[in-house]
Structure 1
Amino acid sequence: MRKQILQHENKKDKQQAKLKKVIIIIVVLSMVIFFSGLFISMFLNRNVNSEFEEYAETVTMTDKNFEQEIECLSAYLDNLTLNNMNKGYACNLLSIMYGLKNQRYENILYMCKAIYYYQKENANAAMIQMSVNLSATLISGTSYDMAESILENALDIKLTEEEETIYHIYIYTNLAESMSQRGNYDQALEAIQLAESKLEKVKQEYFKDCLLSLKISKALAYHGLGDVKESKRLLNEIDDESLKKNILHTVTFAFPYYEASSYVLLSEGKIDKAQECFEHFLEYCDKYMYTSMKLRYIDKFTKVAQLYGYEDTDFIKEYHDGLLDLYRGEITRVNDESAKILLDSYNINAENVKIQSRQRLNRLKIYGGVAVFFIILTVILVMSIEIRKKSQIDFLTGTYNRAKLRVVYRTLMKKKQEFYVIMFDIDNFKLCNDVYGHRFGDMVLERISHNITDELPRTSMFFRYGGEEFVVLCELKTKTEVIDLAERIRRCVDELAWENGTHISISVGVSSIVNTADPLKSADECLYTSKKTGKNKVTYDFEI
C-alpha cells in the first residue's frame, strides 16, 4: 500500500519533483563551481608563492642596475595571490636594491612596506629585522630621532626568548650607533653594554658585523667622553679594509670609523693624518651622495678641531666658513624628506588596506551571495515540502484530509491493486456538540483520531473524510484481518472514558475492491447500515 502511494505521489507531483531535481542540480553545480574555484584559487596561490620563493633564491646583490629584478619583483607584488610573507620579502629585496642604487626614497618606502606586510602576517622577527634596517638607513641620513623611535618601538614587540636575544643585539647596536653619532655618549655606552650582555648568550662569530659596529660606536663614545686612549685602542683593533666590502658596509662601518679615527688623530696633534681621514670620509660621502652625513661630519669635525686648538687650520677654516649654513638647511631638508617618506609609506599602506578591504568585501559579497542563494534554495525546498504537507493534513486531528484521500483513492483504483476501505462515523456527534459545546466536540475528534492512529498497522493510511466521518485505507492479506482491525477501532472508541460521563461510540462500514467497483461508496453504504441497525457496530459487504 505504502509503495503504491509513493508511486502515485511521484507521478501526481511530477512537476514538483522536477522542481526539486532542478533545485538539487543547481545546488550541486553551484557547490561544484564554488569548490572548484576555491581549489583552483588555492592551487594558483600555492603555485605563485612557490614560484616566487624559487625566484627569490636566485636573486644576488651585485653591482648592476637591478632593473630586471626590480621589474620582476614589482610584478610579484601586484599579484593578489602572493601571500603577505612573500610580499614582505619582495619589498625587502627591493629596498636593498634601491639602497645599492642610492635611491633613498624608494629604499625607505619599500622597507616600510615590508614592515607593513610582515605585521599583517604577525611575523614579528621579520618585522624587527626590517625595523633595524630602516633605522640604519635613517641614521645614515642623520634622522636620529626617527631611527631611535623605531628601534624603541621594536623593543616592545613580542618574541620568543631565543629571538629576543638575537634581535635585541641588532636593536641595541643601532641605538648605540645613533646615540654615539649624535653625541649622546652615556646613552650610547648603556646601549652597547645591553648589546654585549645579549652577545654573551650567543655564538659571537655569527655577529661579526654587530661586534664591529659596537666597537666603532664605543670608540666614538669614549672619545666624546674624553677617553681618547681607549678610543684609539678600539680603533687600532679594526682592519679598515674589512669596512669596504660594499656600499652597505661602507655606510655602516667606514663612515663612523673614519670619523672616530679623525677625532683621535686630532687629539694626538696629527693634523695631516686627521685631514687624510677627513678627506676619505668626504670622498665616500660624495661617491654615495650622502650629503647630510657629509655636512654633519664637517660641522662636528670643525668643533672637535676647535676643541683641540686647530680652528685656524686652513682646510678647517675653508669648510667651516663655507658649509655650516648649508649644513643646517640640509639637515632640516633630510629630516623633512625622511618624514615625508614615512608619511607616504603610511598613506600607501593605508591605501593598500582600503584596496584589500574592498577586495575582501567583494569576496565576502560573492561568498555571501552564494550562501544566500543556497539558503533561499533550502528555504524554498523546505517551504514547498511543508506547504505540501499542510495541504494534505487535517489541522484539527492531524490525519490526512479529504483532498489527500481523493488523490490516493483514485491512484489505487487505477492500479487495480487489492485494498480495503474502513469508514466510520461518530454516533450522535451533533447531539454531543449541542449538549457539551463545540470545544468538547473538537476534543472528541482529536482524542479518537489519536487513539485510533495507535491501533493502525503501518500499511494503512488514516483520513478525515468530513465532519465526524473518517476513512482508513489498508492493505491486509485476508478479510478476517480487516474485520479484526475494524472491530479494534470500534472497541478503542467504545472503551474510552470521558470526564463528563458521556459515552461515545462509532459505527463502521468495511468494503473491498474485490467485491465492488467503488469500495468507498460501498463502505459508506455499510456504514449507513450500521447506523440504521443499532449503531456501535461493524458492517461489511463481503462474506468471510
Structure 2
Amino acid sequence: MEKEDLKLLQQKVTKLRAEGKYKETIEACYHLLKSGKECNDFKSILTAHINHAASYYCIGDTEEAFNSIEAYVEVCSRFGDEADLLHQYNVLFLLYEYNKDFAKAKATLENCIGLGKKLEKYNIVSNGYSNISHVLMEEGNYGAALEAGQKGLEASKLHKPASPILELRVKLNIAKAYLELNHFHASKALINEMIHDPILESFIREKSQCYHLQGSWYRKQKIFKEAFDSLTVAKELVESYRDLYLLKSIQEERCQLCEQMEDVQLGYRVQKEYISLLNEINKQELALTALKLEIKHSMSDFKRKANTDFLTGIFNRSYLETTSKEWLEQASVKDENIVCILFDIDNFKIINDQYGHLFGDEVIKQVSNACSKTMKENELFARYGGDEFVVLVRGASLESGKKRAEEMRGIIGNVKIEMGGNSVSITSSMGVTDNLDGKVRSFQELFHHADLGLYEAKKSGKNNVCVKLADKE
C-alpha cells in the first residue's frame, strides 16, 4: 500500500469515529493496523490503536479499550513523538476516569500537563487542569478542585489565538467548586457571567451545563421553582444532543424538586417523562450490548481470516511465523525442543502442467485435509506457500520428529485423487530439523535447515524423509 493510501485510510478512521460510527471505525482500524504493519508505518499503527481504544471506550467495552491502549503504549514508547504521547495521556485519562481509578487519572493528567507546558500547548494544559478539577470534585476535595480550576483558567488565557470557549469550560468547574464550598456570591456571579456570554449560542452542551449549574445553585438556596425552571431549560438543551445519561440525572433532580415544591400534578408529569427516558436508556443499552457482540463476532471473523490460508483453511504463513517466534522464544527459556517438518508435493509442477491448476488446487486441499485430521495438541500445521507445508512439534525429540514425518509421508501417499476415471497418486518429500533444545531462536534459521533437509530428500530420489541438523553454536 502506498503512503498516500495509508494517509487516506487514517483520515477515514478519524472521520468515522468523529461521526460516531464505532463498528465501522473498529473494522477500518483493523485494516489500517494490518496495512501499517505491512508497510512499517508507525503513524498508521498508532492511529489504528488510538481510534480502536476510543471506539471501544464509547461502546462501553473497556477491556478491549485497555488492550488497544497497551498496544499503543508499546509502539509509542519506541517510535512515537510527543504529540503521540499526548494522545496516549488523553485516552488513558478517559479509561481511568470511567473505572473510577482517580489516582491514576490524576497522575496521567499531571503527565499531560507537564508535556503540554513543554510544548506550549496551553489548550492541552488548560483542559488538563479542568479535568483534574473535575476528578477532585468527584473525590469531594472542593478546595483543591477550585485551585486546579483557577490554574486551568490562567493557562487558557495563554492560549493563542484566544479561545473564549476554552475559558468558559474551565469556569464551569470553578463555579461548581465555589458552589460546593458554599461561596454562593462568587458562584452566582460566575454563573450569570457565563449564561449571558454570547459564545454559548454556538455551544449547546456548555449552555446546558450552565443552566444545570444554575439549577443546582437555586436548589441550594431552597429557591425550588427557579431551580426547576433552570433544570427544565437544561433538559430541553440536552434533549437536542441526546445525552441520555445526563438527561436521567436532570430528570431525577426535577422529580425531587416536584416533591420539595409539593406539586403532585407536575410531579406526575415529570415521573412519566422519567419512566419514558428509562425505557429509552434500556433500549440503548440493549443496542450497545448487541453492537458489542456484533463487533466481537466481526473481529473474530477478521482475525480468523487473517490467520487462515484461503485455499486450505489451515493456518497461513503469517500466523506460522508469528506463532513460531513465540514458541521459539519460550523454548529458549525452558530449554524445550521444537521439531520443524517442511514438506512439499513431489512433481507438483508436472501435475499442474498435465492436469491444470484447478486440479493442482484440489491436490493441495486434499493433502492438507488428510494431514489436518492427524494433528495433535502440541502441533502447528500451516501452509507456507504454493505446495509447501510446515509442521511444528513442541516437546518432541528429533528422532520422534522424523517418525512423525514418516507417518505423514505415508498418510499423503494414501491420498488418491480421481481424474478422468483415473486415480492419481501423490507422494511427498520432507526435511526435518530441530531447535537444539532452545539454541535456535529464529524461525528463519529453523526453516533454513528444514529446507536443506527437503533439498536432500529431493536430491536422493523424492518420496522420503531427510534429517538436517542445525548448526551448533
Normalising by the smaller structure, the TM-score range is 0.3 to 0.5
Greater length-normalized contact order (CA 8 Å, ≥ 6 residues apart): 1
Greater radius of gyration (CA): 1
